Amino acid sequence: MEQFIEWITQPWPWWVAGPLIGLTVPVLLIIGNKTFGISSSLRHVCAACVPANIPFFSYNWKKEIWNLMFVFGILIGGLIATVFLSNPDAIVVAEATQQDLAALGITDYSKLMPAEIFNWENLFTAKGLVFFVIGGFLVGFGTRYAGGCTSGHAIMGISSLQWPSVVATIFFMAGGFVMTHLFLGPLMAWIGF
């Protein structure tokens, strides 16, 4: 059992993790003609919890309860992995990436997310406003505008040969590159990082 725990806490290579993620698509299609996506679960939660007669939320959300259970399973799995299966070793970050991040003021690699940005102290500061509130709004807006999230388009949409998903994924990637290489440095300097 100890060897299994040691094995499962190590980072999995792309050639194991990638196919496992990819296999969710045919499994979902075969067992019930279901499509994979995470952002749709937020709509289902709102439809279940918002009693208003908003047309976007007026549908039979109970038919999609499997999607809510899937997302709940992801949350529980993440919690179990974080609490019981976390790897105590330092996260390996390439030297060139460390130099780029150090120029932005990020030097702590002890957790999965940079502690200099993602901590409770930053929540009610300019950093928190930019990264959590405005960033979260932009992600939500982009997800709705694109008709789905990155997992839905890149994993499900492309594998089922949907042209709009190919286009959306190209723009997700392009937007990430532009943000990282053009806007992240000035944004972090602007908010006083």
Q: What is the pLDDT of residue 72?
A: 92
Q: How many domains does the chain have?
A: 2
126-158 pLDDT, tens per residue? 778 887 888 888 888 888 888 888 888 888 888
Domain of residue 142: give its range.
117-193
Residue-wise DSSP of 131-172: IIIIHHHHHHHHHHHHTS-HIIIIIIIHHTT-HHHHHHHHHH
The pLDDT > 70 percentage for the chain reads 99
Q: What is the pLDDT of residue 193?
A: 65
Nearest Cα to 105, choosing from 91, 96, 115, 93? 115
Do 2 and 79 lie in a common domain? yes
Answer whether 0.75 is exceeded by the pTM.
Answer: no
Do 75 and 2 lie in a common domain? yes
Whether 75 is covered by a domain: the verdict is yes
Exposed e or buried b per residue across 22-43, where buried means at least 16 C-beta atoms within 10 angstroms of its C-beta:
eebbeebeeeeebebbbbbbeb
50-109 pLDDT, tens per residue? 777 888 888 888 888 888 898 899 899 989 888 888 777 777 888 998 898 888 888 887
